[in-house]
Amino acid sequence: MGEGGLLGITNSKRVKNIVIFAIILIACTSSCGSIPKLIVLHDPLTADEHITLGLSYEQKGEYDFAVQEYKKAIKMTDADFRPFFYAGNVYYKIKDYKLSEKYYNKALKIAPDSGDIHNNLAWVYIDTGKYEDAGKEADKALRLKKSPYYLDTLAHIYYHMGKYKEAMDALTEAIAMTPEDDKELRENENKMKGMLDEIINSRDKSFKSDP
């Protein structure tokens, strides 16, 4: 899980080879000035290779280059949700929520049963204050698969809506399902649990002190 509970980037065995290829290509074009320009009649990379290269750029924070690669992959196929999904992730990270929502929805038209896309779209709505829409997307994700990531997203939605008990219930369920070795998710969950404990305990004390 990355920024804001976002799901997405995965490692690929092909990243290293493709990056090396790209570096060699750039070096040749910049240093071999006396060589006549070549006419390239077709893209030498496949859609999968563009996606892999895009992921490599994204992992390094080079978001403009990442989006360029995803868009190249999109032009090659209209049946693969991944470049739309990954482009949505990049736009979310740079806080271009309008484009992020657009690309997530395009991905959902191809893969409506992807819980990860619904989950990430929920985070777009959380960050733009559309909590009802966020809740609908989180519910769709959870109907597809009971995941601690989706429950964590739902807990954040309830938190922002001021429904602290419901947030704690969702978070408690998420914590019970989270693997011990998922340190990032556990850290996020523990941080939120501390916030909720403080709010709930404070409210309980105020109720008890009322005459």
d(CA 192, CA 211) in angstroms, rounded, equals 31
Q: Where are the domains of the chain?
A: 1-111, 115-204
Helices marked H in the chain: 15-31, 47-59, 63-76, 82-93, 97-110, 115-127, 131-144, 148-160, 164-177, 183-209
Q: Do domains 1-111 and 115-204 have the same CATH topology?
A: yes
Q: Is the pLDDT score of 24 beyond 50?
A: no
Name the pTM for this structure.
0.80
Query: Of 33-42, 56-65, 88-97, 196-205, where does mean pLDDT reach its minimum?
Result: 33-42
pLDDT given at position 6: 82
CATH ID of 115-204, from 3.40.640.10, 3.40.50.2300, 1.25.40.10, 3.30.1050.10: 1.25.40.10
d(CA 135, CA 133) in angstroms, rounded, equals 5
How many residues are recorded in the chain? 211
Residue with structure tokens 């995941």?
147
Compute the Cα dihedral for 183, 192, 137, 131 and give only its sign. negative
d(CA 72, CA 23) in angstroms, rounded, equals 18
d(CA 137, CA 112) in angstroms, rounded, equals 11
Q: Is the pLDDT score of 42 beyond 70?
A: yes
Residue 96, φ and ψ in degrees, nearest 5: -95, 80
- 3-state SS, residue 151: helix
Q: Is the pLDDT score of 177 beyond 90?
A: yes
Angle at which helix 131-144 crosses helix 115-127, to 10 degrees, equals 160
Q: How confident is the model at residue 30 (pLDDT cuts 50, 70, 90)?
A: very low
- Name the CATH superfamily housing domain 1-111: Tetratricopeptide repeat domain (1.25.40.10)
**How does pLDDT run across 90-139, given as a tens digit for each residue?**
999 999 999 999 999 999 999 999 999 999 999 999 999 999 999 999 99
pLDDT given at position 25: 47
- Mean pLDDT for the stretch of residues 167-194: 96
d(CA 15, CA 32) in angstroms, rounded, equals 26
